[in-house]
Amino acid sequence: MPTSETIEHDIVIVGAGLAGTWAAMVAAQRGVRDVAVLSKVHPLRSHSGAAQGGIAAALNNVRPVTDSGPSGPLEPVPDGADPPDSWELHLFDTIKGSDWLGDQDSMEILVREAADIVYAYENLGCVFSRLPDGRIAQRRFGGHSAPRANYAADWTGHVLLHTIHEQAHRHGVRFYSEWYALDVIVEDNVCRGIVALDILSGELHVLRAKAVLLGTGGYGRAYKITSNAHANTGDGVAIAYNAGIPLMDMEFVQFHPTGLYKHGILMSEACRGEGGYLVNKDNERFMARYAPGKMELGPRDLVSRSEQQEVNEGRGIGPDGKGIWLDLRHLGKDKILERLPQVRELAIDFVGTDPITDLVPIQPTAHYSMGGIPTDNEGRVLGDGVARPVEGLYAAGECACVSVHGANRLGTNSLLDASVFGRRAGEAMADFVLGGAPLADMPREAKATSTRRLNRYLDGERTESVEAVAQALKTTMTENCGVFRDGDGLALARQEIQRLQQRYAAARVMDRSKRFNTDLLEAVETDHLLTFSEVIVAGAEVRTESRGAHFRTDFPKRDDTTWLRHTLAFKDPDGGPPRLDFRPVRIDWDRYPPQERKY
């Protein structure tokens, strides 16, 4: 690793999940010679690899057997038969899933490039599951009107991540493993680079680049029960916000209906896609009351709310009554072993039940962040949240908000989003760099500012446990800003976060060594959690309607006259609450006007 004070690259990418690695790979492929990717964990540890169920694209490889109902058998589409699925149908499902909050031009790009990106993965070595004739196998997923989830058993994200990481190496991308980006430097609407910590040595480095991409993933770690990795602390979102970039639609946090009870570990939506049942303590398939047309294959927001409703009305399972049963037994041993092997092992390892013979206890788990850093369709970060890109700054994947998921993301659209918009951002960066972009000046005090950020844990009276603050935050976010929300709870959460921010000012770092200081990292990550949680709550509090994943029990109806618009939150330079602004949603009023969302 370099020892010089300042490191220079053409492109610096923060985050090595699907979005970041696609961007890096494509930029390198296009001829940018010096592409570097930073990751706070080894690139192959990125959380994209935890995605299980599939990646959406209307490949038309399978179709439901005629008149067999919402979870009937599937069959291969014969050669020459009319294609049953299309990107138009995928687009409509995605729009409906988003509760009309997504920008429809961006969504159209997402679904139109879907088939191409899936074929690209396949051509680059991804080992998808197959039909008997050799085509990619597909399964059903919640909220999709056709079986278009292309999968590799139930470790799809894992094989996609490994495939694209390998190809990035093939094209000479350089990886900085276990480097942590502390600050992104933006001045005069131009991105100058980043300041990053080499975790191993404990040294800070300034990295200058012509283009910087943030692909740091989601922020589920703000919640107590979450499917997200320990690493998913929304660092990119927080450092962009700290640099004066607004955050968009942060109040939309997706709760996945099937997290393992008490653990939150993901049990793929493929469980339901393959035909699994959700059952309450009275052994009733309760989804019949909430989404009779789709049953368990409703979109995630709806199914999670239904589960929570059952729990709240006393029909939950488990010692505290907060769980729900997932029943896979009728799928049979062969199907479970072939299509859901990982899910089965997780159930056995973590709750001690084998889905082949037993019911699996589950509960809603914080899963995906629809909101994030606002970008245009080429991944350029919008400094004003509306139209003006910050020169040289890009974002893609879960940390970005294009917005293609609106108020609720459909399953299998996240791998698609990260891949499609990661690739587009990579292409845009390559054009930008090869078009002669200069290496912008780095402000002289950049490193000193970041150094102060770390050194503050060393001075003065420091008594507060970082972990205690983080746990208190997660508790209040789960209780007051979870599946169901209301004005009183959100006000409580807002006050609690302010209190926690004050407590955090005295945060104590016990490990004083430089080398591999994970104690210090956890402190910075908690700082980030506090930073964007305040924005989540502010957005949820101001949005007096229910839309997608954001459900206000005091405002249970969607309100298109007032709230068919994106929330933008700007950081107050003086430390006050976030300044909120709004921008309209881009809607094709002729083709896809807002409708009632019913499943």
Partner 1 sequence: MENAIVRVQRYNPETDRKPHVESYRVPLTPDTTILDALHWIKHERDGSLTFRRSCRHAICGSCAMNVNGHNVLVCKTSLSRQLTGGRVTVRPLPYLPIIKDLVVDRSTFWEQYLRVKPWLVPPEGKPGKEYRMLPEEVAALQNAETCIMCGACYSACQVVALTKEYIGPHALLKAFLRVLDPRDAIPGERLREVAGHDGAYRCHTIFNCIDACPKGLNPTQAIETLRQLAQKRGWFEAERRERQTRLNGAAPSNGG
Strand-by-strand arrangement of the 324-327 sheet: 253-260, 360-369, 324-327, 277-279
Please report whether residue 400 would count as binding partner 1 according to CB under 8 A.
Answer: no
Residues 476-515 that bind partner 1 (CB under 8 A): 509-515
Q: Token pair 């950020």 is at which residue?
A: 453
DSSP calls for 3-15? -SSEEEEEEEEE-
Size of the site for partner 1 (CB under 8 A): 62
Minimal distance, residue 42 CB to partner 1, in Å: 7
CA distances from 309 to 23, 286, 314, 326, 378 (A): 41, 10, 9, 16, 40
Selected range binding partner 1 among 89-97, 155-163, 369-377, 537-545, rule: CB under 8 A: 155-163
Please report whether residue 125 would count as binding partner 1 according to CB under 8 A.
Answer: yes
Using the minimum distance from each CB to partner 1, give the nearer residue, 121 or 241.
121
Q: Which of 55, 58, 153, 195 binds partner 1 (CB under 8 A)?
A: 153
In this structure, what token pair is assigned to residue 416?
A: 């698609």
Please report whether residue 136 would count as binding partner 1 according to CB under 8 A.
Answer: yes
Please report whether residue 455 would count as binding partner 1 according to CB under 8 A.
Answer: no
Q: How far apart are CA 357 and CA 274, in angstroms?
A: 17
Please report whether residue 129 would count as binding partner 1 according to CB under 8 A.
Answer: yes
3-state secondary structure 145-163: CCCCEECCCCCHHHHHHHH
Please report whether residue 517 would count as binding partner 1 according to CB under 8 A.
Answer: yes
Minimal distance, residue 170 CB to partner 1, in Å: 4
Using the minimum distance from each CB to partner 1, give the nearer residue, 155 or 277.
155
Using the minimum distance from each CB to partner 1, give the nearer residue, 444 or 515.
515
Q: Which of 42, 285, 452, 579 binds partner 1 (CB under 8 A)?
A: 42
φ/ψ (deg, to 5) at 466: -60, -45
CB 240 within 8 A of CB 248: no
Please report whether residue 170 would count as binding partner 1 according to CB under 8 A.
Answer: yes
Please report whether residue 30 would count as binding partner 1 according to CB under 8 A.
Answer: no
Please report whether residue 155 would count as binding partner 1 according to CB under 8 A.
Answer: yes
H/E stretch holding 185: strand 179-187
Using the minimum distance from each CB to partner 1, give the nearer residue, 172 or 584.
172
To the query of whether residue 140 is one of the catalytic residues in this protein, the response is no
In this structure, what token pair is assigned to residue 591?
A: 């083709």
Please report whether residue 345 would count as binding partner 1 according to CB under 8 A.
Answer: yes
Selected range binding partner 1 among 12-20, 241-249, 339-347, 368-376, rule: CB under 8 A: 339-347
Q: How far apart are CA 158 and CA 153, in angstroms?
A: 10
Q: Token pair 């019911």 is at which residue?
A: 359
Minimal distance, residue 252 CB to partner 1, in Å: 23
Q: Which of 16, 191, 245, 265 binds partner 1 (CB under 8 A)?
A: 265
Sign of the CA dihedral 416, 596, 482, 274? negative
Residues 220-259 that bind partner 1 (CB under 8 A): 229-231
Q: Which of 18, 26, 50, 181 binds partner 1 (CB under 8 A)?
A: 50
Q: Which of 191, 266, 303, 429 binds partner 1 (CB under 8 A)?
A: 266
Please report whether residue 467 would count as binding partner 1 according to CB under 8 A.
Answer: yes
Using the minimum distance from each CB to partner 1, give the nearer residue, 163 or 546.
163
Selected range binding partner 1 among 148-156, 415-423, 427-435, 581-589, rule: CB under 8 A: 148-156
β-pairing, 380-382 vs 389-395, is antiparallel
Identity of the residue numbered 593: P
Q: Which of 47, 96, 322, 409 binds partner 1 (CB under 8 A)?
A: 47
Please report whether residue 114 would count as binding partner 1 according to CB under 8 A.
Answer: no
Selected range binding partner 1 among 263-271, 272-280, 473-481, 560-568, rule: CB under 8 A: 263-271
* DSSP H helix total and E strand total for the chain: 17, 24
Selected range binding partner 1 among 67-75, 132-140, 179-187, 310-318, rule: CB under 8 A: 132-140
Selected range binding partner 1 among 4-12, 183-191, 242-250, 340-348, rule: CB under 8 A: 340-348
CA distances from 124 to 113, 120, 160 (A): 16, 6, 10
In this structure, what token pair is assigned to residue 75?
A: 């069959």
List the x/- string, 183-202, binding to partner 1 by CB under 8 A.
-----------------x--
Burial (CB count within 10 angstroms: exposed 0-12, middle 13-18, buried 19+), residue 589? exposed
In this structure, what token pair is assigned to residue 186?
A: 């933006």
CB 180 within 8 A of CB 197: yes
Q: What is the DSSP letter of 136?
A: B
Q: Which of 86, 112, 119, 484 binds partner 1 (CB under 8 A)?
A: 119
Q: What is the DSSP letter of 201?
A: T
Using the minimum distance from each CB to partner 1, give the nearer residue, 66 or 123.
123
Please report whether residue 454 would count as binding partner 1 according to CB under 8 A.
Answer: no
Q: Which of 6, 518, 544, 595 binds partner 1 (CB under 8 A)?
A: 518
Q: How far apart are CA 284 and CA 278, in angstroms?
A: 8
Please report whether residue 163 would count as binding partner 1 according to CB under 8 A.
Answer: yes
Residues, the chain:
599
Using the minimum distance from each CB to partner 1, give the nearer residue, 517 or 567.
517
Q: Which of 30, 169, 174, 224 binds partner 1 (CB under 8 A)?
A: 169
* Contacts of residue 317, Cβ cutoff 8 Å, sequence gap at least 6: 280, 281, 323, 324, 325, 361
Using the minimum distance from each CB to partner 1, give the nearer residue, 122 or 431.
122
In this structure, what token pair is assigned to residue 505?
A: 């000012």
Please report whether residue 135 would count as binding partner 1 according to CB under 8 A.
Answer: yes
Q: How far apart are CA 222 and CA 240, in angstroms?
A: 17
Cα 575 from chain centroid? 27
CB 10 within 8 A of CB 210: yes
Using the minimum distance from each CB to partner 1, give the nearer residue, 124 or 492.
124
State the catalytic residue, choosing from 140, 300, 485, 503.
Answer: 300
DSSP calls for 379-395? -EEETTSSS-EEEEEEE
DSSP calls for 521-563? HHHHHHHHHHHHHHHHHHHHHH--S-BTTB-BTTB-S--HHHH
- Footprint of partner 1 on this chain (CB under 8 A)? 41-42, 44-47, 49-50, 59, 118-119, 122-125, 127-136, 152-153, 155, 158-159, 162-163, 166-167, 169-170, 200, 229-231, 262-263, 265-266, 342, 345-346, 349-350, 465, 467, 509-519
Q: Among all residues, which ones are annotated catalytic?
A: 300
